[in-house]
Amino acid sequence: MDHIDSKFIGLVSPRLQKFKRVKSNLYNFRCPICGDSQKNKNKTRGYLYAVKANTNFKCHNCGASMSLNNFLKQVDPAVHKQYALEKFKTGKTGRNFVADEPDFKFEAPKFKQNIKLPKAIENPRACGYLMARKLDPSKFFYAEKFKKFANSLKPTFDSEKHDEERIIIPLYYEKNLIGFQGRSINPSPVKYITVMLDDDAPKIYGLDNIRRDAPVYITEGPFDSTFIRNAIAMCGADLDISRWGISNPVWIYDNEPRNREIVNRIGKTIDSGDSVVIWPENIDDKDINDMVMSGLDVQSVIESNIYSGLEAQLKFTTWKKI
């Protein structure tokens, strides 16, 4: 299933009752064509699934069968227009794709917001903080007064009193600045503060820098993601990442078997059918950054400890007892 199909399945999913991702390239929900079972509201017999290069819909209640293109046209014409336009632009319409030629509408150019701050590498304190953790300071910015900086882009703080310096972690989507995180340098009760400039945009770090046709590693924090190839970070968000064209995720949680929240999230990930990293018993470090600091080849460790299904459940049960 190509990333455009995955993206638009995610966009239309709020209109599909009982929608869930069963596994990679397979989605289940109540059929919107026939309304599914009238006796049992929990019946879900509508499916979207991949067949070679195509994505099809099938209902095992009414027998309706059609391409994703025609399904979107029936369920949400507005989303279908966007879908047809994106397919048309990328030339991925294919033999079974039939759609009216999309209308191209000109919109006045929008001025993009930029971060007018020095790079972290230019500030001794920020640069020292990041390099001590083996992080690349050229990827981040430095704000001497974080509240003042945040308010300059979006009204965020009622008062700029007790302002503080923070490292700025930019969030981009389709090359636009959609938000940022401020990471405290000094001891602070709030290590991270996230400000979204576009509330509808994904609260994800690194989304513009990944290949969606390969496994995408998903970490909890931006810093950890920079040590791994083809990785993003959720920045505290809890999203259906298939909405953003990611069909083969590998979730990486901190190595904290006594943290109830992390344990619950790993359990839910395994139940969903996604792949997850279960850290081996001989590693004591709690996160990827700490492992890098300890001299571990984190990429190799991760690639050797990816599990799903029953095997993941067995490894998870052992890990929880550490």
On whether residue 103 sits in a domain, the answer given is no
Are 219 and 305 members of one domain?
A: yes
- Tally of CB atoms within 10 A around 294: 11
How much is the average pLDDT of 164-183?
93
How much is the average pLDDT of 126-131?
96
Is the pLDDT at 292 greater than 80? The verdict is yes
Is the pLDDT at 70 greater than 90? The verdict is no
- Among 164, 196, 228, the domain boundary falls at 196
On whether residue 95 sits in a domain, the answer given is no
Task: Quick: pLDDT tens for 212-244.
Answer: 889 999 999 999 999 999 999 988 767 778 878
- Whole-number Å distance between alpha carbons of 74 and 59: 14
On whether residue 309 sits in a domain, the answer given is yes
Q: What is the pLDDT of residue 120?
A: 95
Residue bearing the bigger pLDDT, 97 or 308: 308
Work out the percent of the chain whose per-residue pLDDT is above 70.
92
Q: What is the pLDDT of residue 101?
A: 46
Q: What is the DSSP string of 205-221?
A: BSGGG--TTS-EEEESS
Q: At what angle do helices 3-12 and 68-75 cross, to 10 degrees?
A: 20
On whether residue 255 sits in a domain, the answer given is yes
- CATH label of the domain that carries residue 181: 3.90.980.10
Q: 0.75 cut: is pTM over it? A: no
Are 138 and 187 members of one domain?
A: yes
Is the pLDDT at 178 greater than 70? The verdict is yes
- Among 143, 175, 196, the domain boundary falls at 196
Are 188 and 221 members of one domain?
A: no
- Among 150, 167, 196, the domain boundary falls at 196
Is the pLDDT at 109 greater than 80? The verdict is no
Is the pLDDT at 149 greater than 60? The verdict is yes
How much is the average pLDDT of 300-306?
97
pLDDT band at 92 (very low <50, low <70, confident <90, very high): low
Are 253 and 151 members of one domain?
A: no
On whether residue 136 sits in a domain, the answer given is yes
Q: What is the pLDDT of residue 245?
A: 83
Are 156 and 223 members of one domain?
A: no
How much is the average pLDDT of 181-200?
88
Question: How many domains is the chain partitioned into structurally?
Answer: 3
Which of 64, 54, 103, 62 lies closest to 80, judged by CA?
Answer: 103
Task: Quick: pLDDT tens for 236-288.
Answer: 767 778 878 888 999 999 999 999 999 999 999 999 999 999 999 999 999 99
Is the pLDDT at 108 greater than 50? The verdict is no
Q: What is the DSSP string of 110-171?
A: PPPP---S-BGGGSHHHHHHHHHTT--GGG-EEESSHHHHHHHHS---S--TT---EEEEEE
- CATH label of the domain that carries residue 68: 3.90.580
Max avg pLDDT among 32-41, 95-104, 142-151, 193-202: 142-151
Are 242 and 277 members of one domain?
A: yes
- CATH label of the domain that carries residue 289: 3.40.1360.10
Are 309 and 219 members of one domain?
A: yes
> In Å, how far from its chain's centre is CA 144?
29
Q: What is the pLDDT of residue 201?
A: 82
Across the chain, mean pLDDT equals 87
Work out the percent of the chain whose per-residue pLDDT is above 90.
52
Which range of residues forms the domain containing residue 68? 3-90
On whether residue 259 sits in a domain, the answer given is yes
Q: In the chain, what are the helix, strand and coil shares in percent, each to the nearest 5?
A: 35, 20, 45
Q: What is the pLDDT of residue 166?
A: 96
DSSP 242: G
On whether residue 33 sits in a domain, the answer given is yes
Take residue 133 and report the two structure tokens written for it: 């953790």
Are 190 and 242 members of one domain?
A: no
On whether residue 19 sits in a domain, the answer given is yes
Q: What is the pLDDT of residue 102?
A: 47
Contact 72, 79 (CB under 8 A): yes
Take residue 310 and report the two structure tokens written for it: 């029953």
